[in-house]
């Protein structure tokens, strides 16, 4: 499916006015066209981050007539026909029909996961203040929608840290390819595959939390509920438009079944909740289902820039030194758009790290690596401005000037929620310990390697 790669980000030529504000935010210069004319997307370059969708203000006016009716546009975009919100030129193709079909099919057992960034943004679509923290209402809404199991990507984020932390330690101590890159951002992965295929060995072989969760649903989760994996329909609620692309990568089926069958953005989930008529704001809080939902604060941090690094450092430090880290809060990795470098001392080892937020910022560092000038061990890259909280599938601000305040509020809710968790380190999560004991064996072991790791595809000849 991914090989077809038609891209899920589109620009409606009937609505585009050619202001090219999308081209200003596109990190890969994939938007092509003259000023004042309709733009098109170069799908080979596009990393499907959806930032163009977030900035676009060329809406369909009721005072104008377009060759294609609103009804037809809704259909083309896979949006509900009851949708009342305005349509804009830049959009992503939705997946609601697939999910509705699975929910209506009694032969399918639906398992849904929610990315960490969803709980700090979805309430915005129901008029609550920007960045409202609503994990309980989110779980309640998913339950009312009729999903059979409500699991959490945060659990898989902890699992990712176990594998990725171990991989980092192994590469450092046993002389693997360094620096190692995080691999949880699918837009970043696609960027490396196309623009820097010669650097693919630097990418961690770990699947992203979304894909790890999907794998566990159809193996461990299937066993727990005595469900045949082929009857499981696995859905991911994501702040990201590129996660749809990642889910469709053909190699993401190491369990024998496609890890994730459908991805909904936060906006799409809100459409579904509204269409069904659920009054989100008055929902009584519910909780996620055991066992694939317990998470540490570290796992939750994945949605903000620096969060994967912070979680990985805590676990890697303790793996290397076998002592508890003195301060779990690693302030230097936190922040906004740009590059943050630092060093962590773990025993005799000095682990040098780089955190990059905003894909454009990574280019000089990749050039540095190609020149052989890189002296660091580990780099976290997130494509969107301040990480997944600012993703292309998040609620779209009517006025782009509100983006900054929404990012700020979502990040502050993220850290508040992190503070609320009992466990601060992924390896201390009891359900993570249990899953290795009962099912996976050990990190980087045969089973975990087979199920939780992947390979990458060069998308053009190395430069």
Partner 1 sequence: MGIQLNSFVLADPKKCIGCKVCEVACAVAHRSEELKTVGNMDVPIMPRLYLVRIADVTMPIQCRHCEDAPCANICPVSAITQIDNKIIINEEKCIGCKSCMIACPFGAIELAAAYKEGRPILQNLLTLNSEDEFIHKQSAVASKCDLCIDRSNGPACIEACPRQALSYENVKMEKKRRNAEIVSKTGATIKNFMV
Catalytic residue among 92, 204, 357, 448: 204
Query: 179: cis peptide before it, omega within 30°?
Result: yes
- Kindly report the CA angle at 251 between 247 and 257, in degrees rounded to 5? 75
Shortest approach of partner 1 to residue 401 CB, angstroms? 7
Q: Is 17 in the site for partner 1 (CB under 8 A)?
A: yes
Catalytic residue among 124, 125, 163, 164: 164
Q: Where does 205-303 show beta strands of DSSP type E?
A: 232-238, 262-265
Judge whether 307 and 297 are in contact, CB under 8 Å.
Answer: no
282 as an active site residue: the answer is no
Residues in 24-43 at the binding interface with partner 1, rule: CB under 8 A:
35-36
Please pick, from the candidates 357, 406, 426, 454, the single residue that binds partner 1 as defined by CB under 8 A. 406
Q: What is the DSSP letter of 217?
A: I
Q: What is the DSSP letter of 321?
A: H
Catalytic residue among 230, 251, 285, 442: 251
Shortest approach of partner 1 to residue 407 CB, angstroms? 13
Catalytic residue among 184, 206, 242, 303: 184
Q: Is 147 in the site for partner 1 (CB under 8 A)?
A: no
Q: Which helix (H) or strand (E) holds 308?
A: helix 307-321
Catalytic residue among 388, 390, 406, 426: 388
Residues in 340-399 at the binding interface with partner 1, rule: CB under 8 A:
395-399
d(CA 300, CA 152): 10
The closest of 380, 434, 430 to 189, measured between CA atoms, is: 380
- The site for partner 1, by CB under 8 A, has a size of 35
442 as an active site residue: the answer is no
Residue 75 CB: number of other CB atoms within 10 A?
13
223 as an active site residue: the answer is no
d(CA 408, CA 335): 10
406 as an active site residue: the answer is no
Question: What are the residues facing 59 on neighbouring strands?
Answer: 88
318 as an active site residue: the answer is no
Residues in 241-270 at the binding interface with partner 1, rule: CB under 8 A:
267, 270
Judge whether 276 and 314 are in contact, CB under 8 Å.
Answer: no
Judge whether 28 and 362 are in contact, CB under 8 Å.
Answer: no
Please pick, from the candidates 14, 20, 170, 253, the single residue that binds partner 1 as defined by CB under 8 A. 20
Judge whether 303 and 210 are in contact, CB under 8 Å.
Answer: no
Shortest approach of partner 1 to residue 53 CB, angstroms? 10
Cα-Cα-Cα-Cα torsion 50, 51, 54, 59, nearest 10 degrees, comes to -70
167 as an active site residue: the answer is yes
Q: Is 86 in the site for partner 1 (CB under 8 A)?
A: yes
Residue 461 CB: number of other CB atoms within 10 A?
7
19 as an active site residue: the answer is no
Span from 58-66, 93-101, 191-199, 355-363 in contact with partner 1 (CB under 8 A): 58-66
Span from 40-48, 78-86, 210-218, 336-344 in contact with partner 1 (CB under 8 A): 78-86
251 as an active site residue: the answer is yes
Indicate the residue among 20 and 370 with the shorter CB distance to partner 1: 20
Q: Which residues bind partner 1 (CB under 8 A)?
A: 17-21, 35-36, 57-59, 61-63, 84-86, 88, 124-127, 130, 267, 270-271, 274, 395-402, 406
Active site residues: 164, 167, 184, 204, 243, 246, 251, 388
């Amino acid at each position: 499916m991914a090989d077809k790669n038609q891209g899920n980000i589109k620009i409606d030529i009937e609505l585009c006015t050619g202001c090219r504000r999308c081209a200003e935010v596109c990190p890969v210069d994939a938007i092509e066209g003259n000023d004042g004319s309709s733009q098109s997307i170069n799908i080979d370059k596009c990393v499907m981050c959806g930032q163009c969708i977030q900035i676009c203000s060329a809406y369909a006016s009721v005072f104008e007539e377009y060759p294609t009716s609103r009804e037809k546009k809704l259909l083309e975009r896979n949006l509900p026909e009851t949708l009342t919100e305005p349509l804009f030129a830049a959009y992503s193709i939705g997946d609601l029909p697939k999910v509705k079909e699975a929910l209506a099919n009694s032969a399918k057992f639906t398992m849904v996961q929610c990315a960490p960034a969803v709980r700090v943004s979805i309430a915005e679509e129901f008029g609550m203040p920007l960045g409202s923290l609503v994990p309980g209402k989110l779980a309640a809404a998913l339950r009312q929608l009729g999903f059979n199991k409500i699991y959490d990507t945060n659990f898989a984020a902890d699992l990712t840290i176990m594998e990725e932390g171990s991989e980092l330690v192994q590469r450092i101590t046993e002389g693997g390819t360094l620096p190692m890159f995080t691999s949880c951002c699918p837009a970043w992965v696609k960027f490396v595959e196309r623009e820097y295929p010669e650097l693919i060995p630097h990418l961690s072989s770990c699947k992203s939390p979304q894909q790890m969760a999907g794998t566990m649903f159809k193996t461990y989760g299937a066993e727990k509920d005595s469900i045949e994996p082929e009857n499981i329909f696995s859905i991911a609620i994501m702040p990201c438009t590129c996660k749809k692309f990642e889910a469709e990568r053909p190699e993401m089926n190491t369990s024998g079944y496609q890890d994730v069958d459908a991805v909904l953005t936060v906006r799409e989930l809100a459409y579904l909740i509204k269409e069904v008529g659920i009054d989100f704001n008055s929902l009584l809080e519910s909780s996620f289902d055991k066992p694939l939902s317990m998470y540490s604060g570290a796992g939750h941090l994945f949605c903000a820039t620096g969060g994967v690094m912070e979680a990985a450092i805590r676990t890697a430090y303790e793996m290397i030194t076998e002592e508890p880290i003195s301060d779990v809060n690693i302030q230097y990795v936190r922040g906004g758009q740009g590059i943050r470098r630092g060093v962590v001392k773990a025993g005799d080892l000095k682990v040098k790290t780089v955190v990059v937020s905003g894909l454009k910022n990574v280019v000089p560092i990749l050039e540095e690596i190609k020149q052989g000038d890189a002296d660091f061990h580990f780099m976290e890259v997130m494509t969107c401005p301040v990480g997944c909280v600012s993703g292309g599938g998040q609620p779209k601000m009517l006025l782009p000037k509100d983006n900054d305040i929404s990012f700020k509020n979502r990040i502050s809710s993220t850290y508040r929620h992190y503070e609320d968790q009992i466990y601060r380190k992924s390896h201390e999560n009891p359900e993570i310990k249990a899953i290795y004991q009962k099912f996976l064996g050990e990190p980087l072991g045969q089973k975990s390697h087979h199920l939780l790791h992947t390979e990458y595809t060069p998308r053009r000849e190395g430069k």
